[in-house]
């Protein structure tokens, strides 16, 4: 008889989130926020590391305000924290969005006069308000802060977003000053500006609530944070096959690597579908018990081939560690640390 409930074999990929490091990162950023309280950006499935992994850890560390971009992200976060602690950055675009916000209890970030009017007309209630002080993405302009549509809102958090916090740029101070100007006109309970890099700019940017994202998950957007932020993600993959390669034989697509001498190679179960992008192949390596195994040829969708010269004892089934220091890898491969995190593939997240 066929087993109707077959047991799935162990995965050949695994992503481990160091929850202690994540908690320590939030606590460090909270302390660096001074008199302000740190929230947490948990959009994009906690930057690729998993809501179920990260949100309970952040909650238990002391975080009380969580930011997502889409309404579709709210239910997963609301499994772990009260919905009124969740802010939705994209705001409300229609009556269905307003109805969902009230039904679940999450708080919209109003980004335009049209959204303000829609929210009020649908019944109003607590909301946040984004002021555009110079990034020109979302938010009402400074010219609109005296609008009756704004006056009608019940605003918890008055917010803006720094455009160049990772640089020493006069724009940062100009944006902070504009938010302070808006705060004199718009009634609100809390004021928020600083992202991860903004926290490193100091007390003038912290206000009442900071909104770290990247630094929570191990990214270092400014050098001032380097001594405080710990790596959070660890990635491992299994060797699928080991085999000899003769001198003159090539590896992978387009034969970009050709063996000069006989060697032993291994095929590892990770590829660009998992977020190990093709740009990360040349010049990089995976590791087995601290032994460096250089990547040979192009990264494929589901696998890479590595040189086993330094680890002749490796066999199929062995695990190798895949460097996922998002700061170093981003510099090596022309990616931003944000891309390093959010490009993690579903197979790796579910491994």
Question: What CATH number did the domain enclosing 318 receive?
Answer: 2.40.37.10
Q: Are residues 162 and 244 in the same domain?
A: no
Question: Do 300 and 187 fall into the same domain?
Answer: no
Please say if 37 is a catalytic residue.
Answer: no
Pair 175, 59 in one domain: yes
Q: Is there a single domain that holds both residue 240 and residue 141?
A: no
Q: Which among 193, 218, 243 is the end of a domain?
A: 218
Q: Does residue 38 belong to any structural domain of this protein?
A: yes
Q: Which of 328, 272, 315, 327 is nearest to 295 (CA)?
A: 272
The conformation of residue 290, written as its DSSP 8-state character, comes to: T
Is residue 76 within 8 A of residue 52, CB to CB? The reply is yes
State both tokens at 127: 């909301």
Q: Which residues contact 6 (CB under 8 A, 6 or more apart)?
A: none
Domain annotation covers residue 189? yes
Known catalytic residue: 298?
A: no
- Which residue, chain included where needed, has tokens 């994209």? 90
Q: Which domain does 181 fall in, by range?
A: 19-218
Distance CA 317, CA 332 (A): 29
Q: Are residues 144 and 31 in the same domain?
A: yes
**CATH at 144:** 3.20.20.10
14 in a structural domain: no
Contact 262, 246 (CB under 8 A): yes
Shared domain for 205 and 107, answered yes or no, is yes
- Residue 105, in any domain of the structure: yes
Do 117 and 90 contact (CB within 8 A), yes or no? no
Interval 231-283: pLDDT, tens:
999 999 999 999 999 999 999 999 999 999 999 999 999 999 998 888 878 88
Judge if 177 and 51 occupy the same domain. Answer: yes
* 9 inside domain: no
Within-domain flag for 8: no
Q: Which of 195, 218, 241 is the last residue of a domain?
A: 218
Residue 10 lies in a domain: no
* Residues 191 and 277 occupy one common structural domain: no
Residue in 47, 184, 230, 253 annotated catalytic: 253
Which residue in 198, 185, 191 sits closest to 148, CA to CA? 185
Do 240 and 213 have their domain in common? no
Residue 67 shares a structural domain with residue 189: yes
**pLDDT tens across 12-51, in order?**
999 999 999 999 999 999 999 999 999 999 999 999 999 9
Q: Does residue 271 sit in the same domain as residue 137?
A: no
Q: How many domains does the chain have?
A: 2
Please check whether residues 68 and 115 belong to one and the same domain. Answer: yes
Catalytic residue from among 43, 47, 217, 338: 43
pTM of the model: 0.91
What backbone torsions phi and psi does residue 239 show, to the nearest 5 degrees? -75, 130
Domain annotation covers residue 118: yes
Show pLDDT as tens, one digit a residue, over the chain (351 residues).
566 788 888 889 999 999 999 999 999 999 999 999 999 999 999 999 999 999 999 999 999 999 999 999 999 999 999 999 999 999 999 999 999 999 999 999 999 999 999 999 999 999 999 999 999 999 999 999 999 999 999 999 999 999 999 899 899 999 999 999 999 999 999 999 999 999 999 999 999 999 999 999 999 999 999 999 999 999 999 999 999 999 999 999 999 999 999 999 999 999 999 988 888 788 889 999 999 999 999 999 999 999 999 999 999 999 999 988 777 766 655 667 777 777 788 887 765
């Amino acid at each position: 008889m066929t087993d109707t409930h077959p047991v799935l074999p162990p995965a050949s990929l695994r992503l481990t989130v160091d929850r202690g490091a994540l908690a320590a990162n939030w606590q460090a950023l909270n302390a660096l926020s001074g008199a302000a309280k740190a929230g947490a950006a948990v959009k994009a499935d906690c930057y690729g590391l998993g809501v179920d992994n990260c949100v309970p850890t952040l909650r238990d560390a002391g975080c009380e305000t969580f930011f997502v971009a889409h309404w579709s992200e709210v239910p997963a976060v609301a499994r772990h924290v009260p919905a009124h602690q969740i802010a939705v950055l994209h705001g409300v675009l229609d009556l269905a969005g307003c109805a969902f916000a009230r039904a679940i209890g999450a708080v919209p970030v109003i980004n335009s006069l049209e959204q303000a009017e829609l929210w009020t007309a649908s019944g109003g209630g607590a909301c946040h308000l984004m002021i555009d002080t110079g990034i020109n993405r979302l938010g009402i302009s400074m010219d609109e802060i005296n609008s009756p549509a704004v006056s009608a809102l019940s605003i918890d958090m008055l917010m803006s977003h720094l455009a160049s916090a990772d640089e020493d740029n006069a724009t940062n101070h100009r944006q902070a000053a504009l938010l302070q100007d808006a705060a004199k006109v718009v009634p609100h309970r809390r004021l928020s500006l600083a992202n991860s890099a903004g926290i490193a700019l100091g007390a003038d940017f912290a206000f009442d609530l900071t909104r770290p994202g990247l630094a929570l998950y191990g990214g270092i957007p400014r050098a001032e944070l380097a001594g405080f932020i710990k790596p959070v993600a660890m990635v491992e993959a299994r060797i699928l096959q080991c085999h000899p390669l003769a001198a003159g034989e090539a590896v992978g697509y387009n034969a970009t690597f050709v063996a000069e001498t006989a060697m032993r190679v291994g095929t590892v179960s990770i590829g660009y579908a998992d977020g190990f992008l093709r740009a990360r192949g040349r010049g990089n390596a995976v590791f087995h018990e601290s032994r460096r195994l250089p990547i040979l040829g192009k990264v494929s969708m589901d696998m890479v081939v590595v040189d086993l010269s330094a680890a002749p004892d490796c066999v199929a089934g062995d695990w190798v560690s895949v460097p996922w220091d998002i700061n170093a890898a981003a510099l090596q491969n022309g990616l931003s640390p944000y891309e390093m995190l959010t490009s993690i593939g579903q197979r790796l997240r579910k491994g």
